[in-house]
A and B are shown apart, each in its own frame.
Chain A
């Protein structure tokens, strides 16, 4: 099989540094050689290939932009990593996003020296896994309403509450949990095995099957006061993590869309109906061109966003625009591609169905499409549509 080359209609490679291209190609080869041969079986069983986690660490993909613990990779380089991982599967990219952006990043940014030394080296190597507990059964788009509470008691906090839709919840060694202390949102590091902390996996998903999704339950869970993330309070804490993760998701959408487009293009060129390949028919060409057009725009969007991030000029509303656009774009590509593949598009012999159902989750998590619309609406009008 020919080596996967991605889509580069606007010669984007010439805007990337040699290191960025090398990083992308290395992750691309890893996904082709190591991940894709496993994905269908894991998708069927609804499991994540845990055996690849040490390799993700060895490749340096876990927290590569974290100062001191990472490799000094540019934000564009990091984006390309996530693009290539999501070319494989949104579940693979989610694993890396949660580990790096949602767990290592807040520990590195808001944690104490002891917390950093305790967790970050092992997490970078993939020996320790993290999860991020913000969403609750009744509080998704409105995290400020969370009911998880921490109450001081001597040298400890006592944590009560439930978190839901938590990627890596049951496989994590450390949970970054957001809960209210004196009515203010604070972050806590809760170790696996702490009495009063249990997890339950959410089974039978249509989407993100190559990813563990869990519920975290805290029942009079006693944690030491040293478990508090000391340097942040309020919703700014979790929301700043989400900005990091959404940045990567916007890149991931480009990766999924490219995988889908390449598959549809190849299929259309070889599938013969009425004596010629269906790629020769106008309606099929319209779909392929729509995809190429939107992928190219999405690529330019995240490239510019990445350069702004490295210059320290990225605004969270710009991240909302990129996440909103690129995941919508990828989802629309998947629907058009599924259509081109006809009946073949509903079997797992082809990847489009897997990407399509995954992208339904990606469109919802980390700020739904509609919430990002309202973040942008509030930004441009100065009038907030929600509290």
Chain B
């Protein structure tokens, strides 16, 4: 696998980046927990420190240098719009695409926005990458209009793939591109697997934080906050890393007119994806049961007993 970045970012010294990436990708890093739990008012904060065996990281700067640049990669996916009426297709294993509107996965919008903010702060280049049909060019153009520098479509029929084969393909491409940080949505709202980001990080031997709702990046390190039950968890770590993005992380920008007009001139590369055959297949899809028509049980105090009885014995919620 070629490890040279396809296009060296303007401010990055490519030789150094390649050398250090190789070090990082040895998968020889240890995951170290320094557990410390403090109860702060009603929140539980835990601090996890991810120590990397490789002390060098790709955008370590030399003496006197303050500019950092990054090869920033974003995984995105074309998914049915969340307000689409979904019908199960004739084969019972896929949805019927007729009349379904497709959009950029909403969680990926947070990922693109965070990538753009990272670029604005540190310089570098934002590449958006997807695996899918040629139709996904529309969503890639949206990302370019938001401000991404280039887009890559790995064309494939995704009806018979699984998270494993997708992740292997994406990880290989990330390596080839010389990516130093990867953002993706915490999950795609079609399959809701929430596996790809974590799997890619594992394959690359990188740090990974999922469901990130707040992020601070500095000189090769990050502090990510994730929402957990009843509180927040704050995680420190070093790059390279995969960060899966949750609502609240940022306010995705609207593509502005200049960005939209510039998008058509930006590179959108398309090539066939090389995907392993899937180990898993969808055996069947079942739509949720139709909601029963609402019934009015009565009015005022007289209806209370009946309502309690129904909640207890029919809905079984109390």
B81 to chain A, nearest CB (A): 7
Asked if B256 and A59 make an inter-chain contact with CB atoms under 8 angstroms apart, the answer reads yes
Interface residues of A in 41-86 (CB under 8 A from B): 58-61, 64, 70-73, 77, 81
A22 partner, pick from B81, B101, B141, B258, beta carbons under 8 A: B141
Q: How far is the CA of A2 from the CA of B81 in the complex (A)?
A: 10
Using CB atoms, name the residue of chain A closest to B101. A5
Whole-angstrom distance between the Cβ of B254 and the nearest chain A Cβ: 5
**Cross-chain contact B83 with A18 (CB below 8 angstroms):** no
Q: Which of A19, A26, A29, A77 contacts B264 (CB 8 A)?
A: A19
CB of B175, distance to nearest CB on chain A (Å): 32
Contact A73 B264 (CB under 8 A): no
A379 and B261 CA atoms in complex are apart in Å by 37
Q: Is A223 on the interface with B (CB-CB < 8 A)?
A: no
Q: Which of B83, B101, B256, B260 contacts A19 (CB 8 A)?
A: B260
Q: 0/1 per residue, B120-153, Cβ < 8 Å to A?
A: 0000000000000000001001100100000000
- Decide: A22 near B256, CB < 8 A? Known: A3-B81, A3-B83, A73-B261: no
- Whether, in the assembled complex, A350 has its beta carbon less than 8 Å from a beta carbon of chain B, the answer is no
What B residues does A30 contact at CB under 8 A? Answer: 254
B1 within 8 A of A: no
Name the residue in A22, A27, A70 with the highest tally of chain B Cβ atoms < 10 Å from its Cβ: A22
Beta-carbon contact of B83 and A60 below 8 Å: no
What residues on A are CB-neighbors of B256 within 8 Å?
Answer: 26, 58-60
CB of A102 within 8 A of chain B? Answer: no
CB neighbours (8 Å) of A174 from chain B are none
Interfacial residues of chain B within 70-110, with CB under 8 A of chain A in the complex: 81, 83, 101
Which residues from B are CB-within-8-Å of A61? Answer: 257
Q: Give the interface residue-count category, chain B.
A: 10 to 19
Task: Give the docked Cα–Cα distance between A73 and B259 (Å).
Answer: 11
Q: Are B254 and A59 in contact (CB under 8 A)?
A: yes
Answer yes or no: B14 CB below 8 A from chain A CBs.
no
Q: How far is the CA of A3 from the CA of B138 in the complex (A)?
A: 18
CB distance from B262 to the nearest CB of A (A): 8
In the complex, are the beta carbons of B141 and A60 less than 8 A apart?
Answer: no
Contact with A along B247-261 (1 / 0, CB 8 A): 000000011111111
Tell me the dominant secondary structure on chain B's binding face. Answer: helix
A22–B83 touching, CB < 8 Å: no
Q: Closest approach, in angstroms, between the C-beta of B300 and any C-beta of chain A?
A: 23
Give Cα distance in the complex from A22 to B259, angstroms: 10
The CB with the most chain A CB atoms within 10 A, among B101, B256, B259, is that of B256
Cβ contact within 8 Å between A22 and B254: no
Determine the residue in chain A with the shortest Cβ distance to B103: A3
B261's nearest neighbour on chain A, judged by CB, is A71
Interchain CB contact under 8 A, B83 and A23: no
Instruction: List the A side residues contacting B254 at CB < 8 Å.
Output: 26-27, 29-30, 59
Whether B264 lies near A60 (C-beta < 8 A) is no
Tell whether A18 pairs with B141 under 8 Å between CB atoms, given A2-B83, A3-B81, A3-B83: yes
C-alpha spacing A22/B145, complex, angstroms: 9
| Contact call B255/A26, Cβ cutoff below 8 A | yes
Q: Mark A1-21, 1 if CB is under 8 A from B, else 0.
A: 011010000000000001100
Minimum C-beta distance from A379 to chain B (A):
34
Residue of A26, A30, A58 with most chain B CB atoms under a 10 A cut-off: A26
Least CB distance from A61 to B in Å reads: 7
- The distance from the CB of B10 to the nearest CB of chain A, in whole angstroms, is 24
With A2-B83, A3-B81, A3-B83 as contacts: A18 and B257 at CB distance below 8 Å: no
Map CB proximity to B onto A297-338 as digits: 1 under 8 Å, 0 otherwise.
000000000000000000000000000000000000000000
Q: CA of A71 to CA of B264 in the docked complex: distance in angstroms?
A: 13
| Nearest Cβ on chain B to A234's Cβ, whole angstroms | 33
CA distance A2 to B82 in the complex (A): 9
Q: Name the one of A19, A27, A81 contacting B261, with C-beta atoms under 8 angstroms.
A: A19
Q: Is the Cβ of A18 less than 8 Å from the Cβ of B264?
A: yes
Chain B residues with Cβ under 8 A from A2's Cβ?
83
Contact A26/B261 with A3-B81, A18-B141, A59-B254 known, Cβ cut-off 8 Å = no
Residue of B nearest to A62 (CB): B257
Q: How far is the CB of A58 from chain B (nearest CB, A)?
A: 6
C-alpha spacing A26/B257, complex, angstroms: 9
CA distance A81 to B257 in the complex (A): 10
B138–A60 CB distance below 8 A? no
Contact with B along A257-295 (1 / 0, CB 8 A): 000000000000000000000000000000000000000
A337 to B206, alpha carbons, bound, how many Å?
58
Q: Which of A3, A22, A64, A77 contacts B255 (CB 8 A)?
A: A22
Q: Which residues of A contact B255 (CB under 8 A)?
A: 22, 26
Interface string of A157-198 (1 = CB under 8 A from B): 000000000000000000000000000000000000000000
Contact between A18 and B261 (Cβ–Cβ < 8 Å)?
no
Report the minimum CB–CB distance from B106 to chain A (whole Å): 11
**Contact residues of A between 330 and 366, Cβ < 8 Å to B:** none
**B81:A60 contact, CB within 8 angstroms:** no
Chain B interface residues toward A at CB < 8 A: 81, 83, 101, 138, 141-142, 145, 254-261, 263-264
10 contacts between A and B (CB under 8 A): A3-B81, A18-B141, A19-B261, A22-B260, A27-B254, A30-B254, A58-B256, A60-B259, A71-B260, A81-B257
- Which residues does A use to contact B, with CB under 8 Å? 2-3, 5, 18-19, 22-23, 26-27, 29-30, 58-61, 64, 70-73, 77, 81
3 A-B pairs with the lowest CB-CB distances in the bound complex, closest first: A60-B257, A71-B257, A2-B83
